[in-house]
Structure 1
Amino acid sequence: MTAHQRAHSFNTAAAQYAANRPSYPPAALDAIEELAGRRLAGAQVADIGAGTGIATALLRERGARVVAVEPGDGMAAEFRRALPGVPIVRGDGNALPLADASHDLLTYAQSWHWTDTRRSVPEALRVLRPGGSLAVWWNTDVFDVPWIAEQHERIARHCGVPPTARTRPDDLRAARLSGLSGLALERRHVRWSRVVPLDTHLANIGSHSAFLVLGEAGTRAFLEEERARLREIFPDERVEECYLVDLLVAARP
């Protein structure tokens, strides 16, 4: 399964993604403003790989003038249902359909790892105005919570993928942002949590690309086993999901 196929697997589950994926805490938006050295209110922002608009909505609520860039048909359709007043254009981070020096901030929420940095870094620098910033972030798992660490290992084994999330923040800074050498780069971690019904938690897991490419049968069996395990930990079927937002902001000279 190629990265391209995994990236576009979300289009088959866009509604599930929109309904169950976590958002981001206000402190993460505060940190973006601090590290970028400007308020979001009034800023010209492009949200790249916007998906169903989870991050776009938060940026807009802060008063940013946002345009979304999204390559997938299903995700773009879900975006338009959720945010009919926000412009969305088709494209991806490797070839931005945006004018030179046209934006104050480019954001990549959960999407930078789908880009080819040999192409996406020059594109970002082309589109940013002098003094503008590139912000990339991910909700990463918190492994000092035992049940989360154990679930992560089970997911990796089931999907046949390496358990990379334990090392994701350091690996991404070194490997994925290496093309930004020479720019002022700042990093911030924001820990947060949400309490959701067990069904929402399981649907969130099932909306990840590693499961979407497995198909319904392989996913259903795993999620039913997880339901039984988690009922022992959360008998009221209210699950506290814990996250660490790993945020990196690079400033363009």
Structure 2
Amino acid sequence: MTSLSRAHSFNTAAARYAANRPSYPPALLDAVEELWGRPLAGARVADVGAGTGIATALLRERGAGVLAVEPGDGMAAQFRGTLPDVPIVRGDGNALPLADASCDLVTYAQSWHWTDTDRSVPEALRVLRPEGALAVWWNTHALDVPWIAAQHERIARHCGGEPSSEALPDDRHAVRLAGLSGLRVARRQVGWGRTVSLETHLANISSHSAFLVLGEGAAQAFLADEHTRLRELFPAGSVEERYVVDLLVAARP
């Protein structure tokens, strides 16, 4: 299964993605502002790989003027239904459909790893204004929580991979981004959590690309077993998810 196929698998589950994926804590956007050195309010932001608009909505709430960039049909349709007054253009980070020096900030929420950084970094630099910045972040699993670490291992093995003890991005991502961009790169990790129903938790798992490409039968078999395991851990039916948002900000001096 190619990376492109996995990236486009989200279009078949856009509504599930929008309904069940976690958002991001206010402290994340505080960190973006701190590491960038300016407020989001009034900034012109391109949210690339915007998906269903989870990060786009938060950026707009901070007062940013946001333009979304999204390659997928299903995700773009879901975005328009959720944020009908926010402009969205079709494209991806490897060839941004944006003018030179048109943005103060370019963001990638949960989408940077789908790009070819040899192409996406120069593209981000092209559209940034002087004193602009590139911010990329991921919700990663809080692997210091035993049940989350154990589930992470089960998911990796079921999907044919090996579990990783490292969150994305690690220091190598920061070093590579600095090398490609020539910019000052800062990293920040923000811990947070949410409490959701067991059904929402499992639906969130099923919206990840590794499951979307498995096929319905293989995915449902895993989710049924996982429901039984988690019901023993959380008999009330509410799951306490814990995340670490890993953030990189590459800012022009």
| TM-score under structure 1 length normalisation | 0.97
Alpha-carbon shift at residue 182 of structure 1 (Å): 2.6
The answer for the alignment partner of 2:137 in structure 1 is 137
Alpha-carbon shift at residue 165 of structure 1 (Å): 5.7
**Do the aligned partners of residues 55 and 13 (structure 1) sit closer, same or farther apart at CA in structure 2, a change above 3 Å counting?**
same
The answer for the alignment partner of 1:39 in structure 2 is 39
The answer for the alignment partner of 1:195 in structure 2 is 195
Deviation per residue, 1:93-151 (Å, 9 max, x gap): 00000000010000000000000001000000000001100000000001110000000
Counterpart contact for 2:178–2:250, Cα < 8 Å: no
Listed as ranges, the matches of 1:3-22 within 5 Å are 3-22=3-22
The answer for the alignment partner of 1:54 in structure 2 is 54
Counterpart contact for 1:40–1:64, Cα < 8 Å: yes
Deviation per residue, 1:208-237 (Å, 9 max, x gap): 000000011110000000000000110001
Counterpart contact for 1:189–1:245, Cα < 8 Å: yes
The answer for the alignment partner of 2:127 in structure 1 is 127
Counterpart contact for 1:180–1:250, Cα < 8 Å: no
- Determine the C-alpha separation between the residues in 1 that align with 2:209 and 2:172: 18
Structure 1 segments unaligned to the other structure (5+ residues): none
SS of the residue corresponding to residue 204 of structure 1 reads helix
The answer for the alignment partner of 1:155 in structure 2 is 155
The answer for the alignment partner of 1:66 in structure 2 is 66
SS of the residue corresponding to residue 169 of structure 1 reads coil
Letter in structure 2 aligned against 1:20: N
**Do the aligned partners of residues 172 and 108 (structure 1) sit closer, same or farther apart at CA in structure 2, a change above 3 Å counting?**
farther
Counterpart contact for 1:121–1:179, Cα < 8 Å: no
Letter in structure 1 aligned against 2:134: L
Counterpart contact for 1:159–1:210, Cα < 8 Å: yes
Counterpart contact for 2:125–2:181, Cα < 8 Å: no
SS of the residue corresponding to residue 136 of structure 1 reads strand
- Determine the C-alpha separation between the residues in 1 that align with 2:220 and 2:42: 45
Counterpart contact for 1:49–1:69, Cα < 8 Å: yes
Listed as ranges, the matches of 1:1-253 within 5 Å are 1-164=1-164, 166-170=166-170, 173-174=173-174, 177=177, 179-180=179-180, 182-253=182-253
Structure 2 segments unaligned to the other structure (5+ residues): none
SS of the residue corresponding to residue 166 of structure 1 reads coil
Alpha-carbon shift at residue 245 of structure 1 (Å): 0.3
> How many corresponding residue pairs?
253
SS of the residue corresponding to residue 162 of structure 1 reads coil
**Do the aligned partners of residues 171 and 10 (structure 1) sit closer, same or farther apart at CA in structure 2, a change above 3 Å counting?**
farther
Letter in structure 2 aligned against 1:66: V
- Determine the C-alpha separation between the residues in 2 that align with 1:4 and 1:44: 29
Deviation per residue, 1:39-72 (Å, 9 max, x gap): 1111000000000000000000001000000000
SS of the residue corresponding to residue 161 of structure 1 reads coil
Alpha-carbon shift at residue 175 of structure 1 (Å): 6.9
> Percent identity over the alignment?
76
- Determine the C-alpha separation between the residues in 2 that align with 1:6 and 1:171: 25
Counterpart contact for 2:36–2:249, Cα < 8 Å: yes
SS of the residue corresponding to residue 164 of structure 1 reads coil
**Do the aligned partners of residues 69 and 165 (structure 1) sit closer, same or farther apart at CA in structure 2, a change above 3 Å counting?**
farther
| TM-score under structure 2 length normalisation | 0.97
Counterpart contact for 1:211–1:219, Cα < 8 Å: yes
- Determine the C-alpha separation between the residues in 1 that align with 2:100 and 2:209: 32
- Determine the C-alpha separation between the residues in 1 that align with 2:145 and 2:110: 22
